[in-house]
Amino acid sequence: MHIIDFLSGSVAGACGVAVGYPLDTVKVRIQTQRQFTGVYQCAVETLSKEGVHGFFKGMLLPMTTVSLTSSVVFGTYRNCLQCMKQARGADWLPNTKLEVFLAGLAGGVAQTSVMSPGDVVKVRLQCQTESKRRGAKAPRPKYHGPVHCLLSIVRDEGLAGLYRGALPLMLRDGPSYATYFLTYTTIYEWLSGGSMKKLDWKGVMLAGGIAGMAGWTVGTPMDVIKARLQMDGVRETKRYKGFFHCIVETVRVEGAGVFFKSLGINCLRAFPVNMVVFLTYEVLTAFLRTGPERVDPPPILE
């Protein structure tokens, strides 16, 4: 993978994390805690009890690991595209839509191995509603920060604790990235009139925003299961015996509609986040490259 692609993708991913993190915190809390009944109620309660800081709990780890996850996704995606071209003996031809879909699928699955530990820590800290600024008699937070949370999970649950929810994470990110890259490529091709010539920043942002929404529409059901498995037994008695039991129990208690409970906020977050990601990626890539090259999708879905 070209160093410029890596640098641009890493910075773009970090910008995406920062822009979307407050809504991500609200989303995770709605998915895992029944005390929050909607986006507005969750946001108001978080702000009143924890202040602005409450929306950014656990952000440090995703910000520091985004380069690693970006390189895995983008590197896998690029290499798979090249391998599939070579397999059909057509290096000079553009990749087919199926190849773009499969390469995105592979990239999303591959990143699970490096993303899962950080994601578990992020979700645990986001769901920690206790605030340090409240009175001395108020409940104290269980985790004092990302590093303390990481070490506490390893101590209490072993290394396997860092991979709780890894299966639904894989089933979320594989199809999500496949849809993400395919949607971006399709819209980009449509906006460029089939020539794949370089688009202006408005076209790039539009394609990126729509691609992000499409990816999260596919990934939201597994996102709900992932978050519940990651938090199971942390704040209350353990409820789920595993992946399939979590799905069955969730449907039995709350109905199938719960899988799309956070779809609205995911789409609301995905559009501006991916607009920023794509624009940052394009601006940095254009600045760092000495010669004109065609646009490639950035390596992160937020």
Which has more pLDDT, 125 or 205? 125
DSSP symbols for the chain:
--HHHHHHHHHHHHHHHHHHHHHHHHHHHHHH-TT--SHHHHHHHHHHHH-GGGGGTT-HHHHHHHHHHHHHHHHHHHHHHHHHHHHTT-TTSPPPHHHHHHHHHHHHHHTHHHHHHHHHHHHHHHT----TTS-TTSPPPS--SHHHHHHHHHHHH-GGGGGTTHHHHHHHHHHHHHHHHHHHHHHHHHHTTTS-PPPPHHHHHHHHHHHHHHHHHHHHHHHHHHHHHHHTTTSS----SSHHHHHHHHHHHH-GGGGGTTHHHHHHHHHHHHHHHHHHHHHHHHHH-SS-------S---
At residue 2, does pLDDT exceed 80? no
Residue 299 · residue 64 · CB < 8 Å: no
Query: Rounded to two decimals, what is the model's pTM?
Result: 0.86
Q: Tell me the pLDDT tens digit for each residue of 98-108.
A: 999 999 999 99
CB atoms near residue 78 (< 10 Å): 18
Amino acid found at 143:
Y
pLDDT for the residue numbered 228 = 95
- For 220-232, what is the mean pLDDT? 95
Residue 290 — very low, low, confident or very high, per pLDDT cuts 50/70/90?
A: low
Residue 78 — very low, low, confident or very high, per pLDDT cuts 50/70/90?
A: confident
pLDDT for the residue numbered 288 = 80
Mean pLDDT of the chain: 86
Domain range list for the chain? 166-254
pLDDT for the residue numbered 299 = 46
Q: Which stretch of 1-10, 12-21, 70-79, 289-298 has the lowest confidence by average pLDDT?
A: 289-298
pLDDT for the residue numbered 293 = 47
Q: For the chain, give the percent of residues with pLDDT over 70.
A: 91
pLDDT for the residue numbered 252 = 95
Q: Tell me the pLDDT tens digit for each residue of 140-187.
A: 788 888 999 999 999 999 999 999 999 999 999 999 999 999 999 999
Residue 298 · residue 8 · CB < 8 Å: yes
pLDDT for the residue numbered 136 = 53
**Burial class, 145, CB count within 10 angstroms (exposed 0-12 / middle 13-18 / buried 19+):** middle
